[in-house]
Structure 1
Amino acid sequence: DVALKLLKRFQNLPDESYGFTDHKLLRRRESFSLPNQNSKPVPQLESSSVKFSVLMELAKMPSVFPSGTQYGHLRQFIYNHLSVDRKFSEDYGITEITNFVQKVTSVDKRQLKTSTNRPLSRYDKVLIVLDFLATLVSGLHLWRILCEIAYLFGKTLKRLYGISEIYEQKCTHYQVIGILSYFSRSIGKLNGQQLKDAYAYEAMLYAAEHGIIEFINAMREAKPALLSAVNSCNRGIFSYAIQYRKQNVFQLIHCLNGRKEMFRYSIDTFGNNMLHLAAHLGPPSDRHSRSGAAMQMQREIQWFKAVEKVLHPKFKEAENDDGKKPYEIFTENHEELVKDGEKWAKDTATSYTIVGTLIITIMFAAAFTVPGGNDQNTGLPIFLHDNVFTTFLIADALSLFASATSVLIFIGILTSRYAEKDFVKNLPWKLMFGLSFLFLSVCSMIVAFCAAIIDMISKGYRTNKWSIIVLIMLLGSIPIIVLVLSQLRLMKEIIHSTWKNRISTIEG
């Protein structure tokens, strides 16, 4: 559990006057303990020792906050729909977590009893109804059987999709939000000097560096003055958000109303405004989350454009102490990334061009060597009036035209000038449409091949032809599935970053 982990790791907290005493936390020791944990008593701490802020440690732990946890679409859907009592944020969620875990991990109907010390939740009411139904069917032992089946089914789902792990993670998030709520109320009572002694300003900067928006929101609501936290170089939380590419923190600047101008005009000790900071390369963790150097370059330009919208126009041409403008710094720092992006785009386009050319050759030849051959008298295909043969002709033509279109698009990528602004929309659009037409051509080619084989089999086989047809269709679906799995991530990333990108659509 988070509180005990912090207490055991750091045995020195600010004294009583600052609102963060060890005694307050130790009195809540049992509340922060999950069931079946045999933790040793934590010794009392010396208030005269070196002071430590729990807030500082929370600001360095992004994984215990919802914003620091990234799931795939399926796991995120499970996370969003797992039921956890919202009262966690009010009383640290310890009692509710204990009760909830006991209820969902046991099939014994004794767990259906609810506590009389708090109002019944919706989940408790459901349990009472289930208990009543269990009583009705207890004579037939049907309830016990249903419970066992439900338990085994739930256990299988938990193992298959990691539901237990996700649930524990969500419980941890609510615990931490409760702990943060407790400390934020204490923070609101401190004056300026006490905030410095409690390292609250430093904690805000760490939270901005790690993108912990929950921490920043809780602190600014308790003490709005904490938003003005700066380091020794006069860089604040929004400078950190830009420097470390934390989008959720950067977007907070649009919620500040009147105080927004103070941050838009901020300049550090080196004469850099926020656009100068955006002109530098982002951290590797942000860039490497993109597929290929071209998509990384697109992300860098989007960040630069988003910050440019926020600042006053005069800052676009402002020089820092080194006499450099933001655009000059951006070009200088991204020169290698532009070259890498050009190489990646050309290599990708070359590979797809070869595939498209092969498809054109195959489908062009197939159009004149139709299945079943041609009538020697008329020259027309023998299977001309068959529906399956019509499917073959349509799929063949569609594959040929789609592959030809994709090849032309990829040739356009190869001959592009690769200026910085081309990475924003021009190159991603071409790559997206080229991939789409290539995917269509491959699918149509498989359909044409299957139609030709099925047409010949239906004329030659009298028995077991349907089993052969089904087998051919199953085998024909394999290359389509492989193509989807291999290229789906890149296509989704291009669509999201180009059409649904949240950075470039921020309104200043």
Structure 2
Amino acid sequence: MKFLQDHRHALTASISADGDTALHVAVLAGHVEIVGELVKMLDAEDLAITNRNNATALNYAAIGGITRIAEYLVEKNKGLLDVPNQNGLIPVVVASLYGHKEMVRYLYHESPKEVLSPERDKKNGLYPHLVFHQDSDQDTALDMLAQKPSAFPIPAIKHMYNLKLIHVQAHELLCCICQQISTLPRAEFEKLGVYKAVFNAVKNGIVEFITEMIKHYPDIIWIEDELERGIFLYATLQRQEKIFSLIYKMGAKKNSIATSWDRQHNNILHQAAFLAPSSQLDRVSGAALQMQRELQWYKEVEHIVQPKYREMSNMFRRTPKALFTESHRKLVEEGEKWMKDTAESCTVVAALIATIMFSAIFTVPGGYDAVGNPLYLSRNSFMVFIVSDAMSLFSSSSSLLMFLGILTSRYREEDFLKSLPTKLIVGLSCLFFSIATMMVTFGITLVIMLRERVSWVSVPIILLGSLPVTLFALLQFPLLVEIFYSTYGPGIFDKPKKWWLF
């Protein structure tokens, strides 16, 4: 600093290949204290010096995101707030693009409002001009919302060009945008990227986005992408069940929507026949359950189309059913392998338990008296032993039969919908019950034999006996619940009986 005090010209001299001054370098390095000292030494107009990239020190501060540095610069020269960089972006926009929320809040509060928009909605305090303004990546606020499922219902929105609305909820922002869109002629939609944003929202499953758009502009349901697919055909292809479920709220319009097809003559049932995107399949555990989900989609769409559309051929002479079989052949094979591997592993365990429990009944604790009666036959604990042993044997045998049924199944496509999942549910449930009753049998046997000598033996035996049961529950119970919910739950589609959107 003493050198700079003695050589004042060095404060504004270029010291890098990009034409950076000492202030530029300090700001880029994030040295808050040094920036503060340099600002004190420089004149206000010196802070506006730009480098070869046409960037001021405040432009760099917006990139770095350190709000205190920006405060030093703005307090001395507020004119820096409306100096754009080489891309024509002022500091508050730069901070927004880099996701520095606190920096954006500060710069927005300080920036002249006429710089942000020449037209202001005085009633709402908003800036409609920014709704369709593009950033350096040609994205608008609408595009960003359509690509961010996490924005709903997160209260704060980041990385938005619309700076004022960073402080409001995503839904409020969307309402504002939709109100602006509803006043535009349909011919303007394509130019402003509304169609692109809508299909991005469908792809990402943002049902709030689509619902709000429909409320403000009902005809949005008829728009098509470059392959002439409407939003419901595209939602079916992308397996976005929440958006597809809106079709049930369309009243009579549902019938017209369900009879449309794309450029290759694929109707909505053809869309359900294509294999789901991997991002959607990965949400379901195991190939067998993935196949079940695909069948649920196909059956659901099949219910809403006219009978002739179920046999309609596309340009490649494929009916929906033929296309489904062709597209899911590999998934059926993977589902068969997953089912068999699971059944084989569980069969070994079930057979072992059945063998042990069958043997245990002939080697009762305490042995037999002279006439062949168990010595502890009169004890209640002995009856617990007999009952738990029998229940373990019966449940393990039932489990074994269920898993054998899985192994010998024909593995048709339709089997993955109910038959195979039901067998797996029964098999796993019986196996879990057999393990639990087996541990009860083992524990009560030790209690009978040791109770007279070690009176406190019951407590540790119960605790240790519950350990394998708990482990099995933690490892397998989530899968069992998922299979049960997927097979017998309310389903993934929202089908209200007496409610319409319009």
Task: Give me the TM-score of the superposition, normalised by structure 2.
Answer: 0.70
Q: CA deviation at 1:45?
A: 6.1
Kindly indicate whether the alpha-carbon contact (under 8 Å) linking 2:245 and 2:493 is maintained by their aligned counterparts in 1: no
Q: CA deviation at 1:33?
A: 10
Q: What residue number does 2:152 align with?
A: 65
Q: Is 1:321 the counterpart of 2:306 in the alignment?
A: no
Structure 1, unaligned runs of 5 or more: 1-7, 10-21, 70-83, 85-91, 98-173
* Residue 451 (structure 1) aligned to one of 444, 462, 469: 444
CA distance in 2, matches of 1:189, 1:38: 30
Q: Is 1:214 the counterpart of 2:228 in the alignment?
A: no
* Residue 380 (structure 1) aligned to one of 351, 373, 379: 373
Q: Is 1:40 the counterpart of 2:103 in the alignment?
A: no
Give deviations 1:472-492, integer Å, cap 9, x for gaps. 111111101100011111111
Q: What residue number does 1:483 align with?
A: 472
Q: Is 1:437 the counterpart of 2:430 in the alignment?
A: yes
In the TM superposition, what are the counterparts of 1:301-316 in structure 2 within 5 Å? 301-316=295-310
CA distance in 2, matches of 1:441, 1:252: 45
Give deviations 1:323-377, integer Å, cap 9, x for gaps. 11111111111111111111111111111111011001111111111111111x1
Q: What residue number does 2:30 align with?
A: none
Q: What residue number does 2:41 align with?
A: none
Q: CA deviation at 1:459?
A: 2.2
Q: Report the more deviating stretch, 57-66 or 359-368.
A: 57-66
Kindly indicate whether the alpha-carbon contact (under 8 Å) linking 1:93 and 1:175 is maintained by their aligned counterparts in 2: no
Kindly indicate whether the alpha-carbon contact (under 8 Å) linking 1:302 and 1:504 is maintained by their aligned counterparts in 2: no
Q: Is 1:241 the counterpart of 2:235 in the alignment?
A: yes
Aligned pair in 2 of structure 1 residues 352, 221: CA closer, same or farther (>3 Å)?
same
Kindly indicate whether the alpha-carbon contact (under 8 Å) linking 1:34 and 1:94 is maintained by their aligned counterparts in 2: no
Kindly indicate whether the alpha-carbon contact (under 8 Å) linking 2:242 and 2:493 is maintained by their aligned counterparts in 1: no
Kindly indicate whether the alpha-carbon contact (under 8 Å) linking 2:288 and 2:335 is maintained by their aligned counterparts in 1: yes
Q: What residue number does 2:142 align with?
A: 55
Q: What residue number does 1:423 align with?
A: 416
CA distance in 1, matches of 2:432, 2:484: 16
In the TM superposition, what are the counterparts of 1:188-337 in structure 2 within 5 Å? 188-337=182-331
The amino acid that maps onto 1:60 is: Q
CA distance in 1, matches of 2:353, 2:305: 50
CA distance in 2, matches of 1:253, 1:482: 44
CA distance in 1, matches of 2:190, 2:323: 34
Q: What residue number does 2:44 align with?
A: none
Q: CA deviation at 1:195?
A: 2.4
CA distance in 1, matches of 2:317, 2:452: 80
> RCO (CA 8 Å, sep 6+): is it higher in 1 or 2?
1
In the TM superposition, what are the counterparts of 1:54-93 in structure 2 within 5 Å? 54-66=141-153
Task: Give me the TM-score of the superposition, normalised by structure 1.
Answer: 0.69
CA distance in 1, matches of 2:332, 2:490: 20
Kindly indicate whether the alpha-carbon contact (under 8 Å) linking 2:165 and 2:173 is maintained by their aligned counterparts in 1: no
Q: Over the residues paired in the alignment, what is the CA RMSD in angstroms?
A: 3.0
Q: What residue number does 2:486 align with?
A: 497
Kindly indicate whether the alpha-carbon contact (under 8 Å) linking 2:272 and 2:298 is maintained by their aligned counterparts in 1: yes
Q: What residue number does 1:404 align with?
A: 397
Q: CA deviation at 1:271?
A: 0.9
The amino acid that maps onto 1:339 is: E
The amino acid that maps onto 2:235 is: A
Kindly indicate whether the alpha-carbon contact (under 8 Å) linking 1:202 and 1:229 is maintained by their aligned counterparts in 2: no
The amino acid that maps onto 2:386 is: L
Q: What residue number does 2:178 align with?
A: 184
CA distance in 2, matches of 1:446, 1:402: 13
Q: CA deviation at 1:506?
A: 5.0
SS at match of 2:428: helix
Q: CA deviation at 1:240?
A: 1.5
SS at match of 2:392: helix
Kindly indicate whether the alpha-carbon contact (under 8 Å) linking 1:356 and 1:404 is maintained by their aligned counterparts in 2: yes
The amino acid that maps onto 1:489 is: P
Kindly indicate whether the alpha-carbon contact (under 8 Å) linking 2:241 and 2:493 is maintained by their aligned counterparts in 1: no
Q: Report the more deviating stretch, 225-234 or 496-505.
A: 496-505
SS at match of 1:40: helix
Give deviations 1:79-130, integer Å, cap 9, x for gaps. xxxxx9xxxxxxx9989x8xxxxxxxxxxxxxxxxxxxxxxxxxxxxxxxxx
The amino acid that maps onto 1:411 is: L
Structure 2, unaligned runs of 5 or more: 1-61, 64-88, 118-128, 156-162, 498-502
Kindly indicate whether the alpha-carbon contact (under 8 Å) linking 2:274 and 2:324 is maintained by their aligned counterparts in 1: yes
Kindly indicate whether the alpha-carbon contact (under 8 Å) linking 1:228 and 1:236 is maintained by their aligned counterparts in 2: yes
Q: CA deviation at 1:384?
A: 0.8
Aligned pair in 2 of structure 1 residues 185, 459: CA closer, same or farther (>3 Å)?
same
Kindly indicate whether the alpha-carbon contact (under 8 Å) linking 1:52 and 1:198 is maintained by their aligned counterparts in 2: no
Number of equivalenced pairs: 379
CA distance in 2, matches of 1:318, 1:449: 62
CA distance in 2, matches of 1:460, 1:449: 18
CA distance in 1, matches of 2:496, 2:341: 36
Give deviations 1:404-448, integer Å, cap 9, x for gaps. 111011111111111000000000000000111111110000001
CA distance in 1, matches of 2:323, 2:182: 41
The amino acid that maps onto 2:145 is: L
CA distance in 2, matches of 1:189, 1:378: 97
CA distance in 1, matches of 2:432, 2:164: 50
* Structure whose CA Rg is larger: 2
Kindly indicate whether the alpha-carbon contact (under 8 Å) linking 2:133 and 2:141 is maintained by their aligned counterparts in 1: no
CA distance in 1, matches of 2:496, 2:151: 30
Q: CA deviation at 1:497?
A: 0.9
Q: CA deviation at 1:496?
A: 1.1
Q: What residue number does 1:414 align with?
A: 407
Q: CA deviation at 1:194?
A: 2.5
Percent sequence identity is 40
Q: CA deviation at 1:289?
A: 1.9
Aligned pair in 2 of structure 1 residues 367, 188: CA closer, same or farther (>3 Å)?
same
Aligned pair in 2 of structure 1 residues 49, 367: CA closer, same or farther (>3 Å)?
closer
